[in-house]
Structure 1
Amino acid sequence: MALQPVADLFNHGDRGGCHVAFGGDGFSFRTTTTYRKGDEVKICYGRHGGDFLLVEYGFVMAENCWDEALLDKLVLQRLNMSQKERLEDAGFLGKYVLDRDTVCHRTQVALRLLCCKVGEWMRFVNGSDDGHRSQGAVDALLLELLRECVVAVDSAIERVRRLKAGEQLQKDMLIGRWEQIRQLVNARIESLERETRT
C-alpha cells in the first residue's frame, strides 16, 4: 500500500460520507450528503468490524453498523473431533460470526450439528431442509453460548484492567472494544429471550 496525499487525511465512517473513485486521472472524492461548514467529511475504509479496525487501523468506533464478534472459541470447544471433521469436510469449520442482527449461516450449521441427528443436519447443509423444526433447539444452545460469552468478556475486561504493561489509553481502547462485543452479545441475548417468550 502507498500513502495517498490528502486521501490519507480522511477518517473512517462506517457509512462513509463521500464516494471515492480511482482512475487514470487519480482519485476523486464526491460527497454523498450535505455538509455544513466545519463538519468532518469521512470515507468508508470498508465493511469492517471493530476487531479489524482496532488491529489494522488502531482505533475503535463508538457506532459501527458492520461490527461483529467471532464466536469460534465458544462453538469449537463444544465440538468433538468427529464433529469438527464433519464440519471441515462440509466447508463449515470455523469463522462463526455474530453481527448486529444475528449469527451467520456457518454458526447455524455448526450449532445444528450439536442439536440434530446427522441426517437432519446434512439436509440443512445441502439446502433440502430450512431448519425451521430444529431452530428452537439451536436458539436455546446459542443462548447458552452467548451467556458464556458475556462471562468470558467480563473476564477479559478484568484481565486488561490488571495489566501492568501498556499505556492507560491502550487499555481503555481494549476495554472499550470488549464492551462493544458485550453489547453485541447482550443485544442478541435479549432478542432470543424475547422470541422465546412469544
Structure 2
Amino acid sequence: MYDPVQGEGTQPSMPKRRRPSSSHCQDFLADGVPEVHQRLLEHVLANNARLSKVKIARLPHGIGIVASEQVKKNEEITFIPKSLLVNLHDIPFPNSSPIDHPTKVHSSLAAYIASQFHKSDNNDPFISIFPSFSSFKSSMPLFWSDEVLDNCSPWVRSFAIKQQAKLKDDYAHAVKMHGERGVEFSKEEFEWAWAAVNTRTIYYRPKKWYKVPAEDCMTMCPFIDYYNHDAKGDDSCTVSFSIDGLRVTTQKEYAVGEEIFVTYGDYNNDHLLVEYGFTLPNNQADNFNIDHWVLQKLSSRHQEILKEISFHGYAFTFSQTVMYSGSDLMISVDGDSEYLLDENEVCYRTMMALRLAVISENLLGKGKRYQDFMKLVEGGIEEDDYVKLYEKDENKVGELLEGILKSAEEFGEERTAALGRMLEEKEFLDQKESIESAVERWRQCMDIIAKYRAKNE
C-alpha cells in the first residue's frame, strides 16, 4: 500500500509479491478473531513482515498477541519492514514533511488517515482495524462531556482540557495545510484519526529528521500495535528500530497461549486513561496525583520558594512544556514535578513541600530552621539528621499530610457519588461507559490512599 523509501528519497522498484495463502495466515490467527484482522495479516506478510511463534487472539480485554508455541528469552518474534510504517517520512502525502513545511506531525498524520478513510473506495487493511469513533468517545476523557470531566480527578480533567485545545489547534492546522489543497476529510473523521494517531504511535526518528523535535518523531506500525501494554518493563518485549524496520524481541520465556506484552512506559493509570483510554487493574506504576490538595496548604510565598528550588508541584498551568513520551502528549516540567502518593510512600517532592509549609512565613528566608531546610535541599544535611533535628516539625508534616489525604478522600467520594447519580439519570444513558471509567479511576485512587495508610500506621 505505502510507497517504500530507501536512503534519502530514492524510490526503488519493488518486486511483485505473492499474496499469502489463507492457510498460511491462519498460522497467525487464533479462533474467533474477526476477518478484518486476516486482511491486515495478509497485507503485512505480503510486504515482507516476519512473524514467529505468535498469534493474533481475542482476549477478555480486546485483541492482543499470544504465543502459538513455546517462546524463548531474547527471541525475535516480529519484524515489520520500514516500507509498512505509516509516518510523514514514508508515506506519499503533500505538504506534510516537518523538514520542508511548517507542519505538525500529529496533525498532518491524522489528516492523512482521515483523508484515506474519507474515500468511498477506502480499503486500507491497517486503517480498517482502528477502533470506531464511538469507542474512542467512550474511552478517552478527551471526548467526555463537561459533566463527566467535572467529576474526574483534577489531573485527568486538566489534561483532557489541554488535549481538547491541542486537537482544536491541530484541526485548524490540518484544514489550512491540507484541506485547502484538496485533501478531503470531515471534522469528525479528523477527530477519529487524531485519536487513532494519539493512541497508536511510537517514537521514530529517521536520519533526515535529526533537527525535528522529539514530540514530532512519530510513526504508526501495522501489527506491532496489536501488542498490549504491561507496566512490567523488565518482562515486556523490547521494540527496537533499525534502518530496515522495527523488531519485537522477548525478555522472558512464554508458554503456549500466554499473552505477550510490550510496555508503553512506566505510566500511572491517570496517564494511561487520558492518553490511551484504559487503566490497568494491577498497575505496579500507579500512583495518585495530590497536587490539588498540597498546593492549597502552601502560601504564595511558600510556592515562590518551591519554584526557585524546583520543588513546586504540577498545578497544571497552561504555560508548561509539551514533551513527547510514547504517544503525542506528555506534559513535563523539570522532570518529575508532581506531588505523588503510591500505596507505599509519599514522594520526596511532597515531603519537601510540606516541610517548607510548616515553617511560618515570617521565618522564610532567615533563621536556622529555614537555613537547615535549604541545606537539606542542597544535600548539605542528611534527611535522617534533619528529621531528628526537627522532630516536632515532622509531626506537623504528618498531620498536614493526613489532612490532605482526608480532603482528597472527601473530594473523591463526593465526585464518585455524583457520577453514581448520573448513571441513574436518562440524560446520561449514552455516557455510561465513560462514567463507569471515571468511577473506576476514583476507586483506584481511594484504594491507593487506603493501602498507604495500612502500610504506614
- Both structures adopt the same fold (TM-score exceeding 0.5): yes
- The whole-number CA distance in structure 2 between the counterparts of 1:171 and 1:2 is 32
> Whose radius of gyration is greater, 1 or 2?
2
Query: Structure 1 residues 63 and 157, CA, compared in 2 at 3 Å: closer, same or farther?
Result: same
Q: Say which is worse superposed, 151-160 or 123-132, in terms of deviation.
A: 123-132
- The whole-number CA distance in structure 2 between the counterparts of 1:85 and 1:70 is 20
- Which residue is equivalent to 1:114? 357
- The whole-number CA distance in structure 2 between the counterparts of 1:103 and 1:26 is 42
Supply the RMSD in Å over aligned alpha carbons.
Answer: 1.8
Is residue 344–residue 455 contact of structure 2 (8 Å, CA) maintained in 1?
no
* Aligned-pair identity (%): 31
Amino acid at match of 2:348: H
Is residue 237–residue 262 contact of structure 2 (8 Å, CA) maintained in 1?
yes
- Which residue is equivalent to 1:152? 411
Given candidates 406, 420, 443, the residue that maps to 1:179 is 443
Amino acid at match of 1:181: C
- The whole-number CA distance in structure 2 between the counterparts of 1:77 and 1:189 is 21
- The whole-number CA distance in structure 1 between the counterparts of 2:294 and 2:219 is 39
Is residue 71–residue 98 contact of structure 1 (8 Å, CA) maintained in 2?
yes
Given candidates 237, 242, 245, the residue that maps to 1:23 is 242
Query: Unpaired segments of 5 or more residues in structure 1?
Result: 194-198
Amino acid at match of 1:188: Y
- Which residue is equivalent to 1:98? 341
Q: 1:3-49, CA deviations, whole angstroms, 9 ceiling, x for partnerless residues?
A: 20111111111115312211122111122222222221111011101
- The whole-number CA distance in structure 1 between the counterparts of 2:407 and 2:373 is 24
- Which residue is equivalent to 1:132? 387
Given candidates 1, 5, 8, the residue that maps to 2:225 is 8
- The whole-number CA distance in structure 2 between the counterparts of 1:9 and 1:89 is 45
Is residue 19–residue 31 contact of structure 1 (8 Å, CA) maintained in 2?
yes
- The whole-number CA distance in structure 1 between the counterparts of 2:282 and 2:415 is 21
Amino acid at match of 2:245: G
Amino acid at match of 1:184: I
The alignment partner of 2:341 has SS state of strand
- The whole-number CA distance in structure 1 between the counterparts of 2:370 and 2:339 is 20
Amino acid at match of 1:40: E
- Which residue is equivalent to 1:196? none
Query: Structure 1 residues 156 and 69, CA, compared in 2 at 3 Å: closer, same or farther?
Result: same
Q: 1:94-119, CA deviations, whole angstroms, 9 ceiling, x for partnerless residues?
A: 12111342122211110001224423
Q: Of Structure 1 and Structure 2, which has the larger fraction of its residues in helix?
A: 1
Is residue 21–residue 28 contact of structure 1 (8 Å, CA) maintained in 2?
yes
Is residue 79–residue 114 contact of structure 1 (8 Å, CA) maintained in 2?
yes
- The whole-number CA distance in structure 2 between the counterparts of 1:182 and 1:76 is 19
